[in-house]
Amino acid sequence: MNKMDGFDSCVVGLVAAFGRQSVICYDQALVIAALEEQGMSYDEAVEFFWFNQIGAYVGDGTPAFLERKSLKEIEEWITI
């Protein structure tokens, strides 16, 4: 299980899937807010997050990121 240094307050739990080990799950909005607290603008934080955090594969223990959505929002997204 891999952990991102400096983002402990953004952890929301573990994610498990069939046939895979559990991984640490971070709240996407909290991670972006933490990057802003480190001095990045919102746009810089979002770009950094997508390229360097979600975009980084570091083996089977690569963390997961939660984007909080209601079931209705998810269903609407699926039908687009």
pTM value is 0.87
CA distance 40 to 26: 19
CA distance 46 to 31: 9
pLDDT tens by residue, the chain, 80 residues = 899 999 999 999 999 988 889 999 999 999 999 999 999 999 999 999 999 999 999 998 999 999 999 999 999 888 76
Contact 71, 12 (CB under 8 A): no
Kindly provide the residue ranges of all beta strands, DSSP E only, lying in 1-80, ordered along the sequence: 11-17, 20-27, 64-66
Spell out the domain ranges in the chain: 8-78
Note the pLDDT of residue 25: 97
